[in-house]
Chain A
Amino acid sequence: MSVRAMPVATHLIEVRLRPEFADAEGAAALQLLQAQGLNSIKEARVSRLYRIQGPITANQVQQAAKDLLCDPVTQEHRVVAPVPAPLNGMNFWRVEVWLKPTVTDPVGETVRDAIADMGLPRPDQARCAFVYRLAGRANKPALEKAVARCLANPLIHDAVVSEAHP
């Protein structure tokens, strides 16, 4: 008897507040960044990024995103390409703050169990990150330094700062 192995895929789902809603988390992050001297950052919005790995298809991940991870009244979700988007030079920044792989991710663990509870294949792993989408002029080293001081703790977090689309 032959056993057909399911491919192990990695899916990235971003869940964000719809633009018409005020983002209190974003406002708090903006205040913290400005307190670090980054006054040229004018807006911050915060979203959650889920990395789901395992024998689960893109359609099943879409279903989990729609029915489990996203509140359709206030939020929207999208699949994020694992490869970074090309830069557009418009002073928009994207900061992803992940827990280091050795650190327990309780949200990720709960998401993994909840996906299985929906009757979908249980992912091998789910991890959750905070994403800060920033608008305003900044240089990358200064932004990285500020992020390490107020939005991420290098002891337990990996922070990825990149220029991005708005």
Chain B
Amino acid sequence: MSAPAAAPAAFGILDKSPKELRALGDARHLSLNDAEWAAVQAHFKGLKREPTLAEVETIAQTWSEHCKHKTFTSPIRLTEGKKTRVIKNLFEETIVAATAAVKKSWCLSVFEDNAGVVAFGKKWALAFKAETHNHPSALEPYGGAETGVGGVVRDVLGCGLGAKPVLNTDVFCFGRPDYAGPLPEGAHHPSRTLRGVVAGVRDYGNRMGIPTAGGGIWFDDDYRLNPLVFVGTVGIMPQWAVAKDVKSGDLIVAVGGRTGRDGLHGATFSSANLGADAPSSAVQIGHAINEKRVLDALLRARDKKLYRSVTDCGAGGFSSAVGELGASCGARVRLEAAPLKAADLSGWEIWLSESQERMVLAVPPKNLKALEAVFAAEGCELAVIGEFTNTGRLEVTHRDESVVGLDMKFLHKGLPRVERAATWSAPASSKASGGAEKKAPLVLREMVAHLNVCSREWVIRQYDHEVQGGTVIKPLQGVRHDGPGDACVIWPHAATGDMKDYAGFSVAHGLNPDYGRLDPYWMALACVDEALRNLTCVGADPARAALLDNFCWASPEDPRQLGALVRAAEGCRDAGKGYGAPFISGKDSLYNQSKDEKGRELPIPGTLLISALAPVPDARKAVSMDFKGPGDALYLIGRTNDELGGSLYHRLLGRAGGEVPKANPPCALDGFKSLHAAINRGLVLAAHDLSEGGLAVAAAEMGFSGEFGARLDLDELARDPRIYSNETLLFSESPSRILIEVKPEHESAFLRHFGKGAKAACVRRVGQTTANPILKVVGLDGSTVLEESLKELKEAWQKTLPAVLR
């Protein structure tokens, strides 16, 4: 029997005033607010003792925005004009409510584990998670991005009993790389951030042997101080491995990297605005080879059923991982047993360190020897650091000194919920104003060369998107493998060994903060719509799509910011219900604002990334976006409205306001399902979604990727009859539209999938492909409004990014 632990070293808070506690919190980067300090104080007053430093740090980590998502789960008083209403729990009332409403039996685990899990066939399941690593990437782009990838890979590895990662994704928001304005002292130039982040994602994914095959980049100068780095991973696992469980008596086993001083305060760091006093210890450098060892050993141990539960050491390190696993029972930890990088680490540092590549397992004692053998064979360290108990308490010691003695109930349920105020007022006028008209050909040339449209080949070519041999539809498409794909299609069965199973899956994204500047509600619907139509374009089943939400916002302390966030979350709720697509996981990253060179707060535009995952029933039937030949019919699904608010067209013209694109989910879903059925029957040669730049940009991209031309007649578009402008028809960004190439002999069979009446009204033959690589567009009055060489458009499209990064 071990000797009783010595009295803990006290960290005096009981006699301190709120002001003194605030100062204490600031000095230690604890990010606790006054109400939370009061709750901590009251708890320890009740215990009639001072807390230890490690206890306060543990509480701060556990209660951080990063871990508890306080904004999304606390009450919000929303004022809209003269009306006020209280939202008790934004997360439950929007994201969870949408998932509950659509009731999909193929959702195997939602909002519970480190990732969302959906069924993939009868035997397999896909785990999907997207994370952000914004604050670390702003400070150290390379290290921040690569540890972001490492973290999300571990999320999937620590989901259920572990899934094998088969795809990585990356979506970034940066300031323009050619930004020439001033920056505050110490801030990285956006060009440096971009290079570092891309290198970090590249090195971690490539070294772990995971294909990075899906993503996107959005440029806007309001991200110059707060870049957004979204990284995602899809993993595959047998369905029996989805459930996990911890039993008292199980050993707490730490595997993977050693614990060091690196990465302290990462979780609390995410609950504060980014400033010059950010702790350097919050930044780390990843070790992909170590994580690969953990991955290989863990999956072998999973298949031998050697452990009962697993989670990753993410933000908060051991404190979060052990706290989460032992939340329902209790845990006793001896920190001196943890393998260390440096011998002089104190107890609280070991407990809270966020050193990378570590995971924690719950292991029945009888399996320990076999588990040690598996990890030894991979050269991966393993240490028993304690055991799970049935006391309902978290007890941590270091060299016989008590470091933490907390009640699990207080730790996980004691966070006080503070009501926040939010306001939302709709934009005063929807009428567009400002800017000067430009000729359509000039606009198109500027559009393809625009940073938010131009080729991402400079980035994509740095990633290994072929490793594991399952990338069926690749990120770059067309006859020269350089066209912009809508989504990737992955066949994951090289990993499972089911070589005769041709089912694959696709991942796509939707993001457009410019719509959010006008109305975050419609931005959310547009993002879901974009992700689903991208999936549909490559042959994935839109009726089986599962969604991830990633909100990146400025400070929720600002009622207007919080009001916009509520509006976006309500958009997600309605989109999820309308498209019948459940949210299965997600994350929020708040406080994305910093002081600019003049000391003014620079918030990012409210940003929502929707990531969608759907099965492709037969990956051999997947479709790419490039034109396949001359003389084929071109069909456009969806109706074109005068929806240029937040569009690229308005941005180029310097025009403000206008109608933001408004999705109509039931109608859109009908079109997507019909197209999916047609693709499944092999009736579609190419499909490409209309997004930034509308019809003109989509047709140009399909043309120059396939090296065939197209002739379009704008009078044939299904459209709002009040539109009389060719430019509106060419550049409107009305959602739910897809341009499709169909062989003439398949036209009638193709159309049969769209039925009759209203459903069919939104599918129109709008032109045909031609042998000559020219994009020719005939306007409403029969005159030619556009006749552009696709070769020249492609050159303009390709040269932008390399030119600004020179």
Contact = CB atoms under 8 A, between A and B. Distances in A.
Interface stretch (A44-52, A71-79, A86-94, A150-158): A150-158
Interface string A102-118: 11111001100100000
B334 to A, nearest CB: 24
Given A153-B140, A155-B283, A102 B192 contact: no
A162 interface: no
Given A102-B261, A104-B262, A155 B280 contact: yes
Given A102-B261, A103-B284, A155 B290 contact: no
A140 interface: no
A105 B286 CA distance: 9
A156 B283 contact: yes
B192 A103 contact: no
B329 interface: no
A149 interface: yes
Interface residues of A, number: 16
A155 B138 CA distance: 11
A129 B192 CA distance: 20
B260 A104 contact: yes
B140 A106 contact: no
B806 interface: yes
A83 B514 CA distance: 56
A147 interface: no
A38 to B, nearest CB: 15
Contacts of B143: 103, 156
B161 to A, nearest CB: 27
Nearest to B356: A104
B305 interface: no
A97 interface: no
Nearest to B806: A31
B355 interface: yes
Interface in A116-153: 149-150, 153
A61 interface: no
B354 to A, nearest CB: 11
Contacts of B350: none
Contact of B290 (A99, A102, A106): A106
A115 B140 CA distance: 30
Contact of B280 (A31, A35, A105, A156): A156
Given A31-B806, A149-B189, A155-B140, A104 B289 contact: no
A20 B695 CA distance: 51
A99 B288 CA distance: 17
A102 B261 CA distance: 7
Interface in B187-206: 188-189, 192
- What size tier do the contact residues of chain B reach? 20 to 34
Interface in B165-217: 188-189, 192
A104 B286 CA distance: 8
A110 B357 CA distance: 14
B192 A106 contact: no
A104 B341 contact: yes
B192 A150 contact: yes
A103 B289 contact: no
B192 A156 contact: no
B285 A104 contact: yes
A104 B139 contact: no
Contacts of B140: 153, 155-156
A103 B262 contact: yes
Interface in B240-287: 260-262, 280-281, 283-287
Nearest to A34: B806
Interface string B312-336: 0000000000000000000000000
B630 to A, nearest CB: 41
B184 to A, nearest CB: 14
Interface string B762-793: 00000000000000000000000000000000
Given A149-B189, A153-B140, A102 B262 contact: yes
Contacts of B281: 102
A163 B490 CA distance: 52
Contacts of A99: 285
Interface string B24-57: 0000000000000000000000000000000000
B612 to A, nearest CB: 34
Nearest to B192: A150
A65 B509 CA distance: 46
A149 B414 CA distance: 45
Contacts of B284: 103-104
B287 A104 contact: yes
A121 B160 CA distance: 41
A102 B283 CA distance: 11
Given A149-B192, A155-B139, A106 B280 contact: no
A110 B289 contact: yes
A123 B413 CA distance: 48
A105 B139 contact: no
Interface in A1-43: 31, 35
A155 B192 CA distance: 15
Nearest to A106: B287
A133 to B, nearest CB: 21
Given A149-B192, A156-B280, A106 B285 contact: yes
Contacts of A149: 189, 192
A28 B139 CA distance: 22
Contacts of B355: 104
Contacts of A106: 285-290
B285 A103 contact: yes
A109 B262 contact: no
Nearest to B143: A156
Contacts of A110: 289
Among B139, B143, B281, find the residue whose CB has the most chain A CB atoms closer than 10 A. B143
Contacts of B280: 155-156
A149 B193 CA distance: 11
B289 A105 contact: no
A128 B286 CA distance: 15
A144 to B, nearest CB: 15
Nearest to A155: B280
A109 B293 CA distance: 14
A49 B624 CA distance: 46
A110 B293 CA distance: 13
B128 to A, nearest CB: 27
Contacts of A155: 139-140, 280, 283
Contacts of B261: 102
A31 B806 CA distance: 7
Given A155-B280, A156-B285, 10 more contacts: A35-B806, A102-B260, A102-B261, A102-B262, A104-B287, A105-B285, A106-B286, A106-B288, A109-B290, A110-B289
7 contacts: A99-B285, A102-B260, A104-B341, A106-B290, A109-B287, A155-B283, A156-B283
Interface of A: 31, 35, 99, 102-106, 109-110, 113, 149-150, 153, 155-156
The 7 closest A-B pairs by CB, nearest first: A106-B287, A155-B280, A104-B285, A153-B140, A156-B140, A104-B262, A155-B140
